[in-house]
Amino acid sequence: MLHNLPFDIRRLHQAYASGVEPTQVIAEVYRRIDEVDDPGIFLHLLERETVLKRAKKLSSFDLAGSPLWGVPFAIKDNIDVNGLATTAACPEFSYIANEDAFVVELLLRAGAILIGKTNLDQFATGLVGTRTPFPAPKNALDPDIIPGGSSSGSAIAVSLGLVSFSLGTDTAGSGRVPAALNGIVGFKPTLGTLSNAGVVPACRTLDTVSIFSQLVDDAAVVLNVVAKFDAADSYARQFEKSPISLPPPHLIVGVPNNETIKFFGDNHQRESFEMTINELGTLGAEIVEIDFTPFYEVADLLYGGPWVAERYSVLEDFETNHPGSLHPVTRQVINAAEGISAVDTFRGFYQLQDLKRNVAPIIDEVDLICVPTIPSFCTVADSEADPVGANSQLGTYTNFVNLMDFCGIAVPVSNRKDGRPGNVTLLGKAGHDGLVIAVARELQYKCRGGLGACSWQLPDKQKLLPSPANHEIALTVVGAHMSGLPLNHELTQLGARFLYASKTAPKYRLYSLAEAHPIRPCLVRDESGSSIAIEVWAMPSKRFGEFIKGIPQPLGIGTLDLENNEQVKGFICESCATKNAEDVTNHGGWRNYLHSISTLTGSIDGGRICQHNL
């Protein structure tokens, strides 16, 4: 009956609403696990009867109080569950946890049902997924291809449809590389968004729990549950939670330029990436090419700099007391730290800071960066022949991300021409998780790639109802603060997010204040006026005062009437400013007016000087 039921959260909840019982879903989970018959996926699979008992104990179906009600999930076996062993894929390291990891506790409270703990590259050190003393899991799509790591089992369990979502961890790409290799979504939040309490560290300063799912929507739902500040985690950071929203209609997206992009001879991967960039363009993105050399230099620091010593600090005592217990490649990687001095460590810190300062102007010029999640595919044979080299190649576009304090999401796109899954990663500045999720959601539906190893189709795209959260104020912008224009960063730097594009009621006139730099509009109420194109953004209330402090005369904030009969706070202008200003109402909006200027001068595009290479 449930053999073909997709396990994405929305369709699973629809099944529950129609009368399906959680025990039936759990029975189907174990049927699928038996059918797959891969002993390398789970290191600890909970007893079927134990999970069925937990399913029976769920309260009545209530998504308001339990947004993950009846949703099966798995976690990587470096994350604690009360009463279960945590091995980090090292039997000698194993211990019985006496409490749930912070994120696991939140998931269980939300009604999710834990199925088991999954395999990984030992101590989360690797991107290949085969550095484990246990049987290595098989790639869900092609057993000749490596499964990807270090969160191998978690990604495969989702790709095969055994669970709705899973948790991994991500320090160097462990939450993104296996997503790409198994055709699913891999979301790496901003560092500190999710608590690491109850997680075996790899590099404490760079670690984060990550989320695997088949749909971007599901990653967003899970994030909303687990993104809670944990004062017990010294590296936790507080970010306001907001519902998933639409992406801005105009974005500046940076991509590696032709001179520095790397595919290691994989032309199918190159073609797939180029096609995806074209699709981003159809979604309103302006593509800007970036010299990626400094990003590669940052990436080299992760294993060629002092952060290897941070990994060593976790395992030094254990290795001393348990010689020979580490996987040979894990030991080779970590023991390289023995030659790193305190002086080397500080030199590494300084080098990273210099590189971050050098690329800051590039990052400030774009809203997002888009890269291939992996530069090429790697076979099991390739990895066995050169385990370190293969791993390094897989980390080309992932190793720098946490060092740069980016958030990122690996999203499935159209399959490559050879049938392998396409996948790109969208990277955003710290705290811009909502933006990368919003764009990834649109891209997944635009490209309509596969859902892992399952034959299911994407569900109908759920219509979003954009509105400000309780901690936000809706703000209407009419000119240079609109998406893709020169002052939009004044919104995004304060945590504002796009809600929707609309028009004013037909009673406003729009003027150009030519003396302003950049040139700015002046919106004045006039009953003989017209409807003017606007954008509505949600601004965190606590940052609103900071924003309006910088608004110069003759501009101000008032209440605007929109064509949908809503009244929203937004930019207005003193009528005296129109005396020497140009009336541009007939253009219907600021962006159209700027386009008319660019047609005449060829030098301005949307208020931004054309710049296609940074």
Instruction: Give pLDDT, residue 141.
Output: 98
Alpha helix ranges (H) inside 418-458: 433-447
What's the pLDDT at 610? 37
Average the pLDDT over 392-410 and give the result.
Answer: 98
Positive or negative torsion for Cα 594, 597, 602, 607: negative
- The pLDDT of residue 552 is above 50: yes
What is the mean pLDDT of the segment spanning 502-510?
97
A 10 A CB-CB count for 534 gives 26
pLDDT of 599 above 70: no
Tokens of 584: 């541009």
Residue 608 pLDDT > 50: no
Spell out the domain ranges in the chain: 9-291+360-447, 472-609
| Residue 598: band (very low, low, confident or very high) from pLDDT cuts 50, 70, 90 | confident
> How much is the pTM?
0.95
User: At which residue do the structure tokens 């090419």 appear?
Assistant: 289
**DSSP-derived secondary structure for 133-156:** SSPPPPPSS-TTB---SSSHHHHH
Is 549 one of the annotated active-site residues of the chain?
A: no
Q: Is the pLDDT of residue 326 over 80?
A: yes
Q: Write down the pLDDT at residue 604.
A: 45
The whole-number average pLDDT for the span 347-371 is 96
- C-alpha closest to that of 396 among 465, 299, 491: 299
What's the pLDDT score for residue 320? 94
Model confidence at 49, in pLDDT bands (50, 70, 90)?
A: very high
Q: Per-residue pLDDT for 606 more than 60?
A: no
Name the catalytic one among 76, 138, 262, 429. Answer: 76
Q: Is 76 a catalytic residue?
A: yes
Catalytic residue among 150, 151, 245, 376: 150
In CATH, what number does 9-291+360-447 get? 3.90.1300.10
Looking only at Cα atoms, what is the longest distance across the chain?
84
* Strand order across the 520-525 sheet: 520-525, 508-513, 582-583
Residue whose entry in the numeric block shows the structure tokens 């990891």: 101
Question: What DSSP string runs through 288-311?
Answer: EEE--HHHHHHHHHHHHSTHHHHH
Task: Say how far apart CA 595 and CA 194 lie, in whole Å.
Answer: 43
Please tell me the CATH code under which domain 472-609 is placed.
3.10.490.10
Tell me what pLDDT residue 476 has. Answer: 98
pLDDT of residue 421: 98
CA distance linking residue 424 with residue 427, whole number of Å: 10
pLDDT tens digits, residue range 429-449? 999 999 999 999 999 999 999
Q: What is the Cα–Cα distance from 56 to 52, expressed in whole angstroms?
A: 6
- Per DSSP, what are the bridge partners of residue 253? 287, 368
Residues 298 and 339: their CA atoms lie apart, in Å, by 20
Confidence of residue 520 (pLDDT cuts 50, 70, 90): confident
Mean pLDDT lowest for which of 241-245, 283-287, 358-362? 241-245
Is residue 605 scored above 90 in pLDDT? no
**Is 535 a residue whose pLDDT tops 50?**
yes
Higher-confidence residue of 45 and 576: namely: 45
Amino acid 609: pLDDT: 34
DSSP conformational letter for 462: P
State mean pLDDT over 362-377.
96
Given a cut of 80, whether residue 204 has pLDDT beyond it is yes
pLDDT of res. 600: 53
Percent of the chain with pLDDT over 70: 97
- Chain centroid to CA 50: 33
- pLDDT given at position 515: 72
Q: Could you give the CA distance from residue 334 to residue 346 in angstroms, rounded to a whole number?
A: 19
What mean pLDDT comes out for the span 19-27?
Answer: 97
Mean local confidence (pLDDT), 232-246 = 92
What pLDDT is stored for residue 613 in this prediction? 46
Which amino acid, residue 36? V
pLDDT tens-digit readout, 54-98? 999 999 999 999 999 999 999 999 999 999 999 999 999 999 999
Catalytic residue, candidates 66, 154, 174, 383? 174
Q: What is the pLDDT of residue 408?
A: 98
Cis peptide preceding 150, ω within 30 of 0? yes
Structure-token match 């296609």, residue found: 612
Q: Is 309 left (phi over 0), alpha (psi -120 to 50) or beta?
A: alpha
Altogether, the residues listed in the chain come to a count of 614
Q: φ and ψ at 522, to 5 degrees?
A: -135, 115
List, in order, residues 6 or more apart from 578 with CB less than 8 Å away.
509, 511, 522, 524
Distance (Å, whole) CA 302 – CA 289: 25
**Contact, 236 vs 230, CB < 8 A?**
yes
Average pLDDT along the chain: 95
pLDDT over 70 (residue 205):
yes
Q: Give tens-digit pLDDT for 277-319.
A: 999 999 999 999 999 999 999 999 999 889 999 999 999 999 9
Q: pLDDT at position 601, please?
A: 52
Average pLDDT of span 380-400? 96
% pLDDT > 90, the chain: 92
Calculate ∠ Cα 333-337-339, nearest 5°: 125
325 phi and psi angles, rounded to 5 deg: -85, -15
